[in-house]
Every structure is written in structure tokens, then in C-alpha cells.
Amino acid sequence: MITKQTFNDFLLGQEEATEMVYREYRNLAYFVIATYVKNQDDCNDILSDTFLKVLQSRESVKNPDGLKQFICTVAKNEAINFIRKDSHLVKSELIDEMYGESDKNNDVLNILEPLLSNKEVIVVYYKAIFEMTWDEITKETGIPSSTARLIYKQAKDKLKKELRYV
């Protein structure tokens, strides 16, 4: 979790705070990118571009609560821009199909993000939305499958508790 002080230091361009923000949100940003782009090398390049763009426009984030959403939005936009530029990767009719699908995925992401930690969002998304096996989740995230199962169970319990009151 990024503290208010770390956020303020990040806005001032302090290296340590910038590194903390990167470490906190890189996996989530990668995850958002990977929902659009399936090539790992491309995802890594887009992740770099994402954080470069975040650094260049960090003054547009007004409070610490908006930082996570800002980074996710930049990651999504960078991935979409990549798809548009590299039209040989995806035909235009598939892009339209992807936008429709990605909008649904982003709706789910918008619901999960405020309720769960970054790791919980990633594990739930991979398991419930992409229907990945525990081994696939481990391969993609580096989280051991037993830990991923525990994270998934805890996240489900949190969601049941939170959504019961909606």
C-alpha cells in the first residue's frame, strides 16, 4: 500500500518513492496489459512504456487513492495503442471484438480493485475470468499454486462479505 507521504514524494520525483510505486503496481499493470496482449516480450515493453508515461504525467493524479486507477488506465491505453499500431498482430474485426470483451473485463476489474489487494485481483481474475489452472497461474505470476489457492479462497470470502451488503 502506498502511503500519502510516499505518494507526495512520488509526485516530487523522488527516486525511492518512484521505485516503491513501481514495485507496488508493476504486477497489476502487467496483468492489465496481458488482458490485451498475449506476447510476454510485448507485455514487458508495454509495461516499460506504461511507467514512463505514468512518470511523465504523474502530476495529473490528485490523490493517493487515484494512483492505482491511473496506472491501470495508462496500462490499458498503452496496450490498446500497441494493438492499433501493430495491426498485423490483430485484424480490425478482432480488435472490435476485443474492445467489447475488454470492456466487460474492465467492468469486473473496476468492481474487484476497491475490494481486494493487487495479488487477490490478479489471482481471482486469472482463475475466474480466464479460467486458468493453478499451474498456469503459478507460471504466469510466480505465486506458488498452494499460495494462489489460499489467496483465491480469502478473496472469495472477502467478496462474499462485501457484496452481501450491496
Distance CA 3, CA 131 (A): 34
C-alpha cell of 57? Answer: 504525467
Say which DSSP state 12 is in.
T
Report the CATH number of the 1-89 domain.
1.10.1740.10
For 124, how many CA atoms within 13 A lie in the half-sphere containing its CB? Answer: 22
Distance CA 119, CA 123 (A): 6
Say how many C-beta atoms besides its own lie within 10 A of residue 21's C-beta: 23
C-alpha cell of 34? Answer: 496481458
Any idea where the domains of the chain sit in the sequence? 1-89
Judge contact between 84 and 41, C-beta under 8 A.
no
Burial class (CB in 10 A: 0-12, 13-18, 19+), 7: buried
Distance CA 86, CA 42 (A): 11
**Residue-level pLDDT, tens digit, the chain, 166 residues:** 789 999 999 999 999 999 999 999 999 999 889 888 888 899 999 999 999 999 999 999 988 888 988 998 899 889 988 887 765 444 434 444 444 444 445 566 667 777 888 788 888 888 887 788 899 888 877 889 999 999 999 999 988 887 776 5
Distance CA 85, CA 142 (A): 30
Per-residue pLDDT reduced to its tens digit, 63-75: 888 898 899 889 9
